[in-house]
Amino acid sequence: MFFRFLYSALTAVLLSIEAFAAPVAAPPDATPTELVAYSPVIFTGIASSTRYGFHDKKKMPYTFIQFSGVTYLRRDSALGDPSKGTVEISVAGGLRENLRLLEVDEMPKFDLGQRYLVFLRGGDWRLSPITASQQGVFRLHGRIADDALVLNYQGQPIARIDERKFVLAKEKSTNDSTGPAEEKLDDHQAGQLASLSGRAPKDTQQEGALSEKVDSEGDRAQEPDNTQGRFANFETIMTLSTLKTFIDQTAKKTAGMYPEAAQVSLTPVDPLGEQSMRALSPNTSGTVKDRLRSKTQSD
Task: Tell me the per-residue pLDDT of 200-239, one tens digit each, with 9 for 90 and over.
Answer: 555 555 545 444 443 443 333 333 444 557 898 999 999 9
pLDDT score of 278 more than 90: no
Local structure of 122: helix, strand or coil: coil
Residue 178 gets which letter from DSSP? -
Task: Kindly report which listed range (103-107, 156-160, 225-229) carries the lowest average pLDDT score.
Answer: 225-229
Mean pLDDT of the chain: 77
Average pLDDT over residues 60-81: 93
pLDDT for position 252 = 96
pLDDT for position 28 = 78
Higher pLDDT, 240 or 202: 240
Higher pLDDT, 267 or 83: 267
Task: Kindly report which listed range (26-35, 116-125, 200-209) carries the lowest average pLDDT score.
Answer: 200-209
- Contact in structure between 155 and 168 (CB atoms under 8 Å): no
Neighbours of 277 (CB within 10 A): 18
User: CA-to-CA distance for 136 and 139, rounded, in angstroms?
Assistant: 10
Higher pLDDT, 168 or 79: 168
Local structure of 19: helix, strand or coil: helix
Residue 109 gets which letter from DSSP? -
Local confidence band at 68 (pLDDT 50, 70, 90 cut-offs): very high
pLDDT for position 205 = 54
pLDDT score of 39 more than 90: yes
- What does the chain come to in residues? 299
**R_g (Cα) of the chain, nearest Å:** 27
Nearest CA to 298 among 16, 17, 30, 59?
30
Average pLDDT over residues 58-87: 92
Average pLDDT over residues 181-186: 50
pLDDT for position 221 = 33
pLDDT score of 199 more than 80: no
Per-residue b or e along 180-215, where b marks 16 or more CB atoms closer than 10 Å to that residue's CB: eeeeeeeeeeeeeeeeeeeeebeeeeeeeeeeeeee
pLDDT score of 91 more than 90: yes
Local structure of 137: helix, strand or coil: strand
Nearest CA to 278 among 58, 95, 105, 21?
58
pLDDT for position 194 = 52
Average pLDDT over residues 260-289: 62
pTM of the predicted model as reported, rounded to 2 decimal places = 0.70
